[in-house]
Structure 1
Amino acid sequence: MKRRMKRTAGVVFSAALLMGGVTACGSASTNSSNSGTSGGNSTSSGNGQKVTITFDMWGPVPQKYNFIKAFEKKYPNIHVALTEIPQTNYSQKINAEVASGTAPDVMLLWENQIQQFAKDGAVVNLDTYIKNDPSLQPSNFIPAFQQLAQQSGGTYGLPWVWATHLLYYNKTMFKKAGVPYPTANWTWQDYQNAAKKLTIVKNGKTVQWGSAPIGFPGVWYSLAGSAGDQIVKNGKLSIGQGAIKAMQWQNTLVNQLHVEPQPSTGNGSVDLFQAGKAAMEMNGSWMISTYDSITNFKWDVAPLPYDTTPFDGLHTAFFTINSKSSHKTADWDFIKFMMSPQGQKLLEEGQNNVSAEVSLANKTWYQNAGTNGPTNWAVFNQIAKYAKLGYVLLPAGLTTDGTNQFNAVLLGQKTPQQALQQIQQQASQVSGG
């Protein structure tokens, strides 16, 4: 992975993980150490004794960008005992550890965990730690994370880096067809017009699609948000007419204009964009590190097209401190290092994701392009201004079911109205939805 966590972590970043209930606070490791409770520059091993803190994250962790090794070099008296958990059951494992009292000192929590963990007292409010550090003040984070802190009544976790959804496009195909490249102002109609011009049919068979199927489920919620839906309101799923419009638009592309194939119902679907068989695709930003291996055409990225207003979703994970940890000062030293320029540089270089810290967002550490693309790295700064932590705050089982309903419309199995009704019924039955 060049992130190369990104090749698989994209799906896990949000919708693929279920959020379990948290019923008890976990206890940290029992390694002896002083237990600091304030931030600043204090060390966690003033007596010279080696301190071990425990840390869980999804794995495997790329050794090329070993941020733990870098941290231990700077803090030689603190050892980080890392547990790598398979991505597919990461959320469930963390929930179980907290409930059983075996949770690590520092946890990376998904978006749909952090607010519940904060509510249940499982993680520490970090405001007392960050109050004297200007670089970690809420005002230095992009708007979406400022909003989360306000909603949560404090800062309970710091975002390591963030990902989003992008429009990928084949520059070679666009140039050959004489179609202008996508811009940040592209609407659904612009996308549709381009897709018609870029679709090629020979002898009754489509040999080049103007648009590939939606590459990542979260794109659906970004489309609905761009058509006016709030997506999340008071902790519950809030979709309506915007989702109807998104389904109708996609249905037009798939079943009326035939510029986009139906979504695959199997596990062996071909990535049409990467295969050079589709001119455009809406997918996660983590695919940059997959597409950097493309050699047979030039490509680039742009913000998602929108209906009435630009809208996109963010994906991240949060560094948090277990409220039962015995090593809170050492825990904070680790988190503070990860949020420092050195730590953020390691994360960006390893993952092609962007720092959520405004003061670091203009760095070029994440810009690891392939031979043929991308070049439009400004897309991340554009999206950061309006992107939100939307559907990722909801239980993933709910949003995954919603995606199945959206696709059922494209497969001719339901009307948009029927799909929406099913999603809303499911949401009313799911806690948090």
Structure 2
Amino acid sequence: MKKFRLIGFLVLLFVAVISTTVFAKQKLVWANPDTLEWQATYHAIADAYMAKNPDVVIEIQNVPQGGYVEKILTSIAAGVAPDVFTYYFALDQAEDGFLEDLTPYMERDGFNPHEMWFPSARARAEYQGRYYSVPRDAVYLTFVYNEEIFDNAGVPYPTGDWTTEEMRDILRQIVDYENNIFGLAGTNKEHTLQSHPFGYSLGASLVDETGRQVQGYLDSPETIEAIRFILELEEEGLLVPQFFMDQAGSSASRLFVTGQVAVGLIEWNTQRYYDSSLRWTPVLPPVKEGVEPKVYGHSVQYYMWSGSKNKELAWDFMKFISGPEAGLIAAEMGHWPPPNPDVWEEIGWDTERLRAVQWELAQEGPAIPP
């Protein structure tokens, strides 16, 4: 009888130890608004971190982009927000108090953003000398052209110093609606000026450096002329028409890889270009004559909720997801380019045909928009 009691005691002790081990794990909630396709990269990064930290569980919350910000802000107000979340807030959003100031953590750990990230990625993380986020990526938008379409039309390939008028003349020679050959993708009057390198190449400027002053910028002669130029391209049928976007999808990459678009836009999802059988070449955006060329760069950021109950763990996780190991995972999976120059060099992106163009842009310092 005593023997059975001893065995029973040992079994209970074993169960208790296992239960304690399981329940002792720390949980961190990580939210993002990205597509289902991109969740594989988020999970791969989380798995890599958990492999290094077996006492941690990363719960990934994927919220549809349409209601993402509202859900994040509502959860903050309710005191149940994710510990870490993905977005790209305006820099002065830091004044609202719900974003953790990461500067003390960086200073304590000897963490140097200048050594870790590209200038444009840092610029989106820093506000008034303090860091309120860490970058997920560093994106430098460029144009791309379909060599076969140019060859069939007998039109020379564009060069990095082409002008906007030269681009218009090229598109006039190439566009052929009867044979379903279309002109420029990724450009339209709705968003080109605010989230596109072409708007800046035309001399447009929506706001001042603070992001608050609109008068004198949005209504400037240069911006009005830029809008007029885009409308003229649309009226001439030189932009990809709406009926084709309805068929193929609205993203520039989806449109370009159909093989029916002459000039496209290299955006986040570059894998579609590499997976296609097209002969394509990246090129800098054309610049209006008399306008100083500007670097267009963008960086989605990771933020820590200031109300998180796991701030030290959240900071450790943020160092990882914005660092070289996570950056290498993202690069290999092809969903977003990492913010780490060391990773680009390690995998040869500084000399690769597409990334080399973006690498040169990245060396020029902080890009616009900030």
For the superposition of Structure 1 and Structure 2, which TM-score range results when normalised by the shorter chain? Answer: 0.7 to 0.9
- Does residue 1:304 correspond to 2:285, yes or no? yes
- Does residue 1:243 correspond to 2:243, yes or no? no
Correspondence for 1:94: 72
Distance 1:235 1:86, change over 3 A: same
Distance 1:90 1:64, change over 3 A: closer
TM-score (norm 2): 0.76
Correspondence for 1:115: 92
Q: Does structure 2 conserve the Cα–Cα contact (< 8 Å) formed by 1:54 and 1:106?
A: yes
Residue in structure 2 matching 1:286, options 254, 268, 292: 268
How far apart in 1 are the matches of 2:152 and 2:77? Answer: 58
Q: Does structure 1 conserve the Cα–Cα contact (< 8 Å) formed by 2:331 and 2:338?
A: yes
Q: Residue 330 of structure 1: CA displacement?
A: 0.8
Secondary structure of the equivalent of 1:220? coil
Listed as ranges, the matches of 1:178-189 within 5 Å are 178-189=154-165
Q: Residue 81 of structure 1: CA displacement?
A: 1.9
- Larger deviation, residues 270-279 vs 84-93: 270-279
Deviations 1:105-136 (A, max 9, x none): 11223234x631x2111121111222265664
Deviations 1:260-297 (A, max 9, x none): 1475289725465333333112x3513423344433x3
Listed as ranges, the matches of 1:194-213 within 5 Å are 194-200=170-176, 205=178, 207-212=180-185
Q: Does structure 2 conserve the Cα–Cα contact (< 8 Å) formed by 1:53 and 1:105?
A: yes
Correspondence for 1:383: 361
Residue type matched to 1:290 in 2?
Answer: R
How far apart in 1 are the matches of 2:308 and 2:185? Answer: 47
- Unaligned 5+ residue runs, structure 2? 1-22, 250-254
Deviations 1:205-250 (A, max 9, x none): 4653343462795433333322334433222244223322222323
Residue in structure 2 matching 1:62, options 36, 40, 44: 40
Q: Does structure 2 conserve the Cα–Cα contact (< 8 Å) formed by 1:65 and 1:346?
A: no
Residue type matched to 2:106 in 1?
Answer: I
Deviations 1:169-226 (A, max 9, x none): 101122344434333322212322322332347xxx4653343462795433333322
Residue in structure 1 matching 2:193, options 220, 244, 247: 220
How far apart in 2 are the matches of 1:217 and 1:300? Answer: 26
Listed as ranges, the matches of 1:276-355 within 5 Å are 276-281=259-264, 283-295=265-277, 297-307=278-288, 308-355=291-338
Correspondence for 2:168: 192
TM-score (norm 1): 0.66
How far apart in 2 are the matches of 1:343 and 1:58? Answer: 18
Distance 1:72 1:169, change over 3 A: same
How far apart in 2 are the matches of 1:267 and 1:174? Answer: 21
Give the % identical residues.
22
Correspondence for 1:81: 59
Distance 1:303 1:132, change over 3 A: farther
How far apart in 1 are the matches of 2:166 and 2:365? Answer: 20
Listed as ranges, the matches of 1:7-18 within 5 Å are none
How far apart in 1 are the matches of 2:245 and 2:262? Answer: 22
Residue type matched to 1:162 in 2?
Answer: A
Distance 1:351 1:91, change over 3 A: farther
How far apart in 1 are the matches of 2:111 and 2:284? Answer: 28
Listed as ranges, the matches of 1:351-362 within 5 Å are 351-362=334-345
Distance 1:290 1:386, change over 3 A: same
Q: Does structure 2 conserve the Cα–Cα contact (< 8 Å) formed by 1:224 and 1:231?
A: no
Q: Does structure 2 conserve the Cα–Cα contact (< 8 Å) formed by 1:131 and 1:137?
A: no
Q: What's the C-alpha RMSD, in Å, of the aligned pairs?
A: 3.2
How far apart in 2 are the matches of 1:176 and 1:273? Answer: 16
How far apart in 1 are the matches of 2:112 and 2:365? Answer: 21
Q: Residue 54 of structure 1: CA displacement?
A: 1.8
Distance 1:378 1:73, change over 3 A: same
How far apart in 2 are the matches of 1:315 and 1:70? Answer: 26
Q: Does structure 2 conserve the Cα–Cα contact (< 8 Å) formed by 1:209 and 1:260?
A: yes
Secondary structure of the equivalent of 2:317? helix
Residue type matched to 1:241 in 2?
Answer: P
Secondary structure of the equivalent of 1:232? coil
Residue type matched to 1:115 in 2?
Answer: D
Distance 1:54 1:69, change over 3 A: same
Higher Cα radius of gyration: 2
Deviations 1:376-430 (A, max 9, x none): 321211333366352xx8xxxxxxxxxxxxxxxxxxxxxxxxxxxxxxxxxxxxx
How far apart in 1 are the matches of 2:88 and 2:315? Answer: 19
Q: Residue 139 of structure 1: CA displacement?
A: 5.8
Correspondence for 1:50: 25
Correspondence for 1:175: 151
Distance 1:184 1:217, change over 3 A: farther
Q: Does structure 2 conserve the Cα–Cα contact (< 8 Å) formed by 1:286 and 1:352?
A: yes
Secondary structure of the equivalent of 1:111? coil
Correspondence for 2:8: none
Secondary structure of the equivalent of 2:282? strand
Residue type matched to 1:299 in 2?
Answer: W
Distance 1:253 1:341, change over 3 A: same
Q: Does structure 1 conserve the Cα–Cα contact (< 8 Å) formed by 2:294 and 2:368?
A: no
- Larger deviation, residues 149-158 vs 317-326: 149-158
Q: Does structure 1 conserve the Cα–Cα contact (< 8 Å) formed by 2:121 and 2:138?
A: no
How far apart in 1 are the matches of 2:344 and 2:189? Answer: 25
How far apart in 2 are the matches of 1:142 and 1:50? Answer: 34
